[in-house]
Amino acid sequence: MTEEHNFEFINNPEKIQKLSEANNILNINKHPHNNKLVFIYSAPKVGSTSIVSSLRLFGIDKLNVIHIHDEEMLKVLSHITDVTINEIILFNKYLKKDVYVINIYRCPIERKISTFFEKIGSYHFNNTDELVNNYNIIKVINRFNNIFPWISIGDHFIDKYNITIPQSFDHNNKHIMLVHDNIKYITLRLKDSNEWGSILTNIFGFHICIIKDYESSNKPIHHLYNQFKTHYKIPINLLNDILNDKYLNYYFSDIEKHNYYNEWLNKSCDSRNSYTFEQYKLYEELTIENSHIDIIQLHHYFDEGCICKACSIKRHDTKVKILKGCVVKDRIIHNNAKSELIQQRVIRANKINNIISKIPVKTRGKNFKQDLISIVSKK
């Protein structure tokens, strides 16, 4: 079978038009010189924003990074309909791009907690995060346990990619990379994030450092989140159910699973009932119906991926600091980077004018002003 046989849209002009429009909306065509195209296509709350920002920070001149969770995200944020993410991925391979798709797996209990807190105010309690931050922790824990079994189920590598996967995760190399339709599919684990830099450096062929990004402990809800982590004890029946989770059993070795269970066993409590699936669907329906606060997250990434001069300068300075071991918290956001560059230019111009004003005209050489600008610029 030739590669083209996998492109079901090839004889469908309408579908190709929609896929081309999707590429434009996602800014895939904005970087024609970057033939490497990386889709971070994973579930939410698994550490994907760290990889997005790290790849942008260290490789924006070498690859284009697209971050997406599902078709609903395509529809709501980008108004892209009638095409799937897998079709967009295949379409770009059809356009002869060097396509990579990256998934991340996160331990189930931690992922459920993080997902719950992501929209704890606007969704679960129909309030602002700032006000929910002061809620009684017992009330919050009870709500979480009620819906625990139905939060954050699934893994994109196993469920979404439509490829044949190995029988188990590669615990020695801490990742899987397989090629299907000449597309490189990669899956990582958040628990191995300290090794992501080395893994991705070997895959992409240039040095990559991983930065931490978009952590719940840095958000307005951080007080309640930290309280929850301190006080939460998982009901033993919910912990035992986790042992049967097929995704945990795929990604964890027997020893890892044993250690994970014992770690949470020390933070467990008596059994309790959670919502049945029918009760959860009712909860979901009422929650959506009552919700009136729709929060659009701004400045989601440490590096938003802008390639203007201001952001490029900021990105270079940030990389230098990180490689020196400095802790960098200032994000690369276009408006901020532009304001900083303007401010730097004003400061430099004031320095030049101040020096000029103190030097008599008769002592200035032919190239005096240009030489002065060069000297000040180097400082």
pTM value surpassing 0.85 = no
Cα–Cα dist 179/186, whole Å:
9
CA dihedral 297, 300, 306, 308 (to 10 degrees): 80
Q: Which of 228, 236, 300 lies closest to 262, judged by CA?
A: 236
| 64 phi/psi in degrees, rounded to 5 | -110, 130
Residue 269 has pLDDT above 80, yes or no: yes
Instruction: Report domain extents, the chain.
Output: 3-290, 309-378
DSSP 235-252: EHHHHHHHTT-HHHHHHS
Q: Alpha-carbon distance 143 to 147, whole Å?
A: 7
Q: What is the pLDDT of residue 368?
A: 62
Q: What is the pLDDT of residues 314-326, one digit of tens each?
A: 777 777 777 777 7
Burial class (CB in 10 A: 0-12, 13-18, 19+), 151: middle
**CB contact at 8 A, 63 and 57:** no
Cβ-count burial 316-340 (b if 16+ within 10 Å, e if not): eebeeebeeeeebeebbbeebbbee
User: 186: closest CA among 26, 44, 39, 63?
Assistant: 39
Mean pLDDT of the chain: 85
* Range from 180-194, 224-238, 335-349 carrying the lowest mean pLDDT: 335-349
Contact yes or no for 188/174 (Cβ under 8 A):
yes
CA atoms within 13 A on the CB side of 361: 0
CB atoms within 10 A of CB 128: 14
H/E segment holding residue 320: helix 309-323
The confidence band for 35, taking pLDDT boundaries of 50, 70 and 90, is: confident
Helical spans, DSSP H, in 83-191 = 85-94, 108-118, 129-132, 137-147, 156-159
Angle 43-46-47 from CA coordinates, rounded to 5°: 125
pLDDT range class, residue 328, cuts 50, 70, 90: confident
Which phi and psi (to 5°) does residue 68 adopt? -150, 145
Distance separating alpha carbons of residues 157 and 184, to the nearest angstrom: 12
Cα distance between residue 13 and residue 10, in whole Å: 7
Whether 4 shows a pLDDT value over 80: the answer reads no
